[in-house]
């Protein structure tokens, strides 16, 4: 006869997942992780410009660490497509091209149109109020600290709509798309005043989400994506001396 199993001795998969997540939160971040975060931020914000050559020694000195965490962080960034390597030369921040931009905006349009359509049916009052707050952020074009805030706020606005769709997979895909486009957003915000245009578009998106119009949400998101693409292309194409972007 089998002995009865105590309820305490059986842990559900959900409970085990919660315990693993809790342990992960308690685990201190490694030096490699911290260097990776700093490097990634500098690349996405164009502090380290597209096409910039990098060396392990330079970065180790910059972050006051040894070469090992720098090498490991660069390997991770290389796997994500932000850094490339050259034999006997070192590393380079991957340049960005107009072809890259068009591909990324095509993907973004598909993801965001679907996310907005789903969000119309699922978004709550608190989420709408948060989107209204994010839509009203303004910035001064020449103030770099404020520029970082507005790019981050723009990202959070679009990410919040993806979360409101209720699809974790869709939200994750869109976050990756926004990562890859962030360097373009920084360049574009430095080259032209996008404040009024962005506020107007974002307010229109919030209004349609509040109205619960899925077809309208899909349409307004596609229009917003295309307007951003066209404005960015015009700025990049007409800026004399811009070397960060190739055709």
Largest CA distance in the chain: 85
pLDDT the model gives residue 247: 47
The Cα 194–Cα 150 span in angstroms is 10
- Tell me yes or no: is domain 96-246 CATH 3.30.300.30: no
- CA-closest candidate to residue 208, choices 135, 106, 104: 135
Share of the chain above pLDDT 70, in %: 81
Structure tokens at 160: 């919040």
Contact between residue 48 and residue 54 where contact means Cβ atoms under 8 Å apart: yes
Question: 240 versus 89: which is more confidently predicted?
Answer: 89
For tokens 């020694």, the residue is 57
Residue intervals in the chain for CATH 1.10.10.10 = 30-93
pLDDT in tens, 80-113: 889 999 887 899 999 988 888 899 999 999 999 9
Which residues does 111 contact at the CB level (< 8 Å), separation at least 6? 162, 170, 173, 174, 177
Whether the per-residue pLDDT at 171 is higher than 90: the answer is yes
| pLDDT confidence of residue 236 | 77
Among residues 94, 99, 80, the alpha carbon closest in space to that of 244 is found at 94
pLDDT tens readout for residues 52-81:
999 999 999 999 999 999 999 999 999 988
Task: Indicate the CATH number for domain 30-93.
Answer: 1.10.10.10
Residues of the chain with CATH 1.20.120.530: 96-246
Percentage of the chain exceeding pLDDT 90: 54
More confident residue, 245 or 241: 245
**pLDDT band at residue 183 under the 50/70/90 scheme:** confident
Residue 208 and residue 206: Cα distance in Å, rounded? 5
What does each C-alpha distance from 28 to 19, 34, 48, 236 come to in angstroms?
A: 16, 10, 27, 42
- Given strand 83-86, what is the order of strands in its sheet? 53-54, 90-93, 83-86
Structural tokens at position 45: 């914000």
Question: From CA 157, how far away is CA 134, in angstroms rounded?
Answer: 6
């Amino acid at each position: 006869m089998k002995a009865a199993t105590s309820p305490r001795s059986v842990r559900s998969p959900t409970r085990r997942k919660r315990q693993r997540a809790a342990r992960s939160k308690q685990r201190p971040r490694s030096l490699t992780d911290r260097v990776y975060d700093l490097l990634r931020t500098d690349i996405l914000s164009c502090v380290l410009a597209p096409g910039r050559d990098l060396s392990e020694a330079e970065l180790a000195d910059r972050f006051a660490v040894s070469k090992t965490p720098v090498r490991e962080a660069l390997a991770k960034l290389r796997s994500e497509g932000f850094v490339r390597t050259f034999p006997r030369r070192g590393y380079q921040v991957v340049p960005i091209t107009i072809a890259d931009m068009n591909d990324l905006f095509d993907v973004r349009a598909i993801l965001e149109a679907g996310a907005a359509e789903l969000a119309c049916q699922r978004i709550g009052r608190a989420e709408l109020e948060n989107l209204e707050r994010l839509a009203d952020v303004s910035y001064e074009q020449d103030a770099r600290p404020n520029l970082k805030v507005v790019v981050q706020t723009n990202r959070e606005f679009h990410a919040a709509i993806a979360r409101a769709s209720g699809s974790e997979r869709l939200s994750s895909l869109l976050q990756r798309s926004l990562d890859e486009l962030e360097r373009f957003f920084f360049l574009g915000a430095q080259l032209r005043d996008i404040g009024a245009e962005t506020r107007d578009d974002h307010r229109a998106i919030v209004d349609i989400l509040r109205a619960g119009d899925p077809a309208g949400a899909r349409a307004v998101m596609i229009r917003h994506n295309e307007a951003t693409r066209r404005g960015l292309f015009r700025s990049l194409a007409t800026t004399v001396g811009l070397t960060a972007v190739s055709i």
